[in-house]
Amino acid sequence: MRGLRYTETEERLKIRIRAHTAYANFTLDDWLSGWLGKPNGCRLLEIGCGDGNFFPTYAQALGKSGLIIAFDINRNLLQEARTSAERLDTPTIVFPWDFDVHPYPLLDKEVDILIAPFSAYYTNDVSRWLEDSLRVVKKGGRLLLLGPARDNAQELYELNEMVTGIKSVPETDETSAKLEEAFLPQLQERLSGAVQATILDRHIIFPSPEEFTRYYFATWLYEKTQERMASPVEFESVLKAAQKTSLKLSKRTVCIEAYKR
C-alpha cells in the first residue's frame, strides 16, 4: 500500500519558487553553484526535478561537455523542464519516472553527481530509494539531498493554527523530519564517515500580507489542513491573520552531503 503521496502542481511550485527567489536572504542557486564548483564534463542526475528550476545552475557548472539527467513523476512539470532544457548548452535528458519504482532505468555507476532538492522525502521507502540512488553513482561520486529541517517554517504553522485551529499535520511533520531522522542515519550506516549534514538558515520576508497568504495556499500544509476541514479555508481569513504577523518565514534547509567510496 502506498503511504504519502504529494501531487505538486505547476502553479503552486511557481508561487513558492518565485517567493524564494525574490524575497529570500540568499538564493539556493548561488549556494548550489558554490557546492558544485566546476565539474566540467561530469554527469549529474536530479531526482524529482520538477519544472527544471535548477537546470541553468547545473548547466553553468557542467559546461557543454557535461550531461544533465533528470526525472520526475509529474508529466506536466516535466514538459516545462524540457522547455527549460532546450535553452541550455549542456545536453539534458528528461524522462518521467516514479522514484518509488526500482530499479531506476539507469545503469550502475552512471553518474558523478546525484542531487535531490526538495524531493527525496516524498518517498515511501527510504531504504530502497537510497540503495537504488547509490547504485547509479560512480565510486568517488557526490550526493546532495536538500529539504526542510525539522523546525522549518514554524511561522507557517502558527498562521495555519491562527486560522484553522490545527496545530500540526502528521503528513507534513513526517516529511519535515525524514531527511534528518531517516535519510541521514541510513546514509551514515551505508557510507560511514563520508556523510555530513548542515543547516542552511534561510528566511523570506514577504513584501505584503497578500504575498504571504498566496504562499500559504501554495503549500502542502494548506492542502493537508483543508482535507481535515468541514468548510473551505477562506483567502480573506488567512489574509487577516497574516496582517498580524511579521511577514517573516524561516526556511531552514537541511543539506546532506555524501561521497561514495
Ligand X SMILES: C[S@@+](CC[C@H](N)C(=O)[O-])C[C@H]1O[C@@H](n2cnc3c(N)ncnc32)[C@H](O)[C@@H]1O
Q: By the criterion CB under 6 A, which residues form the site for ligand X?
A: 6, 8, 13, 48-50, 53, 72-74, 77, 98-100, 117-119, 122
Give the CB-nearest residue to ligand X.
50
67/40 Cα distance (integer angstroms): 10
Cβ-based nearer residue to ligand X, 18 or 240: 18
Query: Please, which residue, 72 or 180, has the CB nearer to ligand X?
Result: 72
Question: In sequence order, what are the residues at sequence separation of 6 or more whose Cβ sits closer than 8 angstroms to the Cβ of residue 79?
Answer: none
- Name the residue nearer to ligand X (CB basis): 23 or 118: 118
Q: How far is the CB of 236 from ligand X (least distance, A)?
A: 27
Tell me how far, at minimum, the Cβ of 237 lies from ligand X, in Å.
26
Residue closer to ligand X by CB (options 23, 99) is 99
Q: How far is the CB of 100 from ligand X (least distance, A)?
A: 5
Enumerate the β-bridge partners of residue 116: 145
Toward ligand X, which CB reaches closer, 7 or 192? 7
Q: What's the closest the beta carbon of residue 79 comes to ligand X, in angstroms? A: 12
The vertex-258 CA angle with 252 and 261, nearest 5°, equals 175
How do strand 92-96 and strand 67-72 relate by DSSP bridges?
A: parallel
CB of 7 to ligand X, least distance (A): 7
Cα 210 from Cα 238, distance rounded (Å): 9
Of 117 and 141, the one with the shorter C-beta distance to ligand X is 117
Contacts of 55 (CB under 8 A, 6+ apart): 49, 68, 70, 81, 84, 85, 88, 92
Ordered strands of the 43-47 beta sheet: 92-96, 67-72, 43-47, 111-117, 137-148, 248-259, 195-205
Task: Find the shortest distance in angstroms from Cβ 13 to ligand X.
Answer: 6
For residue 209, is the peptide bond before it cis, meaning its omega torsion is within 30 degrees of 0?
Answer: no
CB-based contacts of 20, cutoff 8 Å, min separation 6: 27, 28, 202, 204, 251
Q: Using an 8 Å Cβ cutoff, are 72 and 101 in contact? A: no
